Amino acid sequence: MNPKKPLHNLLTGMFVTLALILSACGGGQADVPPGELTGTLSVLEWAGYDAEDFWVDFKNTYPNVTVGFEIGISDADIYAKMAAGNQADVFHPYSGWLQFYVDEGLVEEIDTSKLANWDKVSDSHKKLGQINGKQYFIPWDIGFTSVLYRTDKIPEGVDSWAALLDPKYAGHISMWDDGPGAVTISSYIHGYDETAITAEQLASIQEEWIAQRDSNLFYWAGEPELQEGMRSGDVWAAYAWQGSYALLLGEGVPVAYANPKEGRNSWVGFYGIRKGSENLDLAMKFLDAKLAEATGNNVVNLFYYGHSNQDVMKSVTDPTLIEAFGLNDPDILEKTNFTPNLTAEQRDAWTAMWAEVKAAP
């Protein structure tokens, strides 16, 4: 007889009991009123969006669910963390950085029939969260990228992305510290197909940005850094998101947001659910609440970004925000280029190109 048998039986018994208890809890969860629902949800988020304002609908509906935030500092950082086995239930990638999550099986397909607020999202935005025809991501925050400039320092105005590479503004330009961003700008300027950059094109883009360093004061990593540079007058022209434009405009800094002839760039932030998340139900509730109005209004009013809930955008009345979002310009979306999804090869090549720009003598 195996002397270990009794222990084995005991353990099996314990597991069975535990499993029964857990399944009982799980089964009962559907009937629990929202106010009494408990649990823990973990979110891999960008700094700032962890503030309660940006998930206020969830907080109010499910006050007893604990939401824990871990901060990612860039799309690359969030992707690398998820690839490394981060256990966050929900994560927040942006345009361009979606494809690999699907390719590597890191993201759960979303059953949008369970999202009460899904109807309020426009079809064009829904589509941006689809990969291989399936809805893996929920669009959430929306914005533009363009050239932000000081109207007192550049009275002639800016009508092209090429201003960011113009030696005329030497020492007063600030580019975002980002390789794919640089490739995008060069593609707009030279009319390259951004989805099919050749090795030669990439090499000439690299040369172009190495030369640009002589005009560039600093690469900004966080928006406050850029905003301070614009405020003080050290920076005259910069790669910027419209949140910075709205903020500075509101402060009375003489700034304008260019409508480059090549078109503005447009991006969307998405939420995805980690494949295999044990909190799928809570994560879905979290995503649905993210699309709700109070949360959306806070995105618009506190961070000056657009929100995917169309009701939220229709209710914007602040003239500064209307100007910043281009809500008064019916053609604004046609003048806009959406960031295409990067492949893993493009990601590696473009980021390496940027590292070489920064390391160049």
Partner 1 sequence: MDRRATFWMLYLPPLLWLGAFFLIPLILMFAFSFRPDMRGDFFQLWQPSLNQYTKLIATGSYWRLLGVSSLMALAISVSAVVLSFPIAYFLAFHGRQRVGFYLVLLLVPFWTSYLLRVMAWKIMLGTEGVINSFLIYINLIQEPLTALLYNRNAVVLTLVYVWIPFATLPILAALQRIDLSLFEAAADLGARPLHQFLRITLPLSLPGVFAAFFMVFIPTVGEYVTPLLVGGSRGSMYGNIIQDFFTKAANWPFGSAMSMVMLAGTLILVAIATRLINLKDLLE
Residues within the interface to partner 1 (CB under 8 A): 73-74, 76-77, 79-80, 83-85, 104, 171, 175, 177-179, 213, 216-219, 221, 232-234, 344, 347-348, 351-352, 354-356, 358-361
CB closer to partner 1, 255 vs 289 = 255
AA identity, residue 306:
G
Smallest distance, partner 1 to C-beta of residue 232, A: 6
Question: For residue 83, which of 66, 67, 99 has the smallest C-alpha distance?
Answer: 99
- Tokens standing for residue 84: 């490394």
CB closer to partner 1, 82 vs 312 = 82
Cβ count within 10 A of residue 87: 13
The strand pair at 173-174 and 237-241 is best described as parallel
Smallest distance, partner 1 to C-beta of residue 55, A: 25
Smallest distance, partner 1 to C-beta of residue 213, A: 4
**Residue 67 and residue 43 in contact, taking contact as beta carbons nearer than 8 Å:** yes
**Residue 301 and residue 316 in contact, taking contact as beta carbons nearer than 8 Å:** no
Smallest distance, partner 1 to C-beta of residue 101, A: 11
CB closer to partner 1, 30 vs 84 = 84
Smallest distance, partner 1 to C-beta of residue 113, A: 31
Tokens 């361009």 found at = 96
CB closer to partner 1, 76 vs 332 = 76
CB closer to partner 1, 140 vs 354 = 354
**Residue 262 and residue 188 in contact, taking contact as beta carbons nearer than 8 Å:** yes
Number of H helices, E strands in the chain: 14, 12
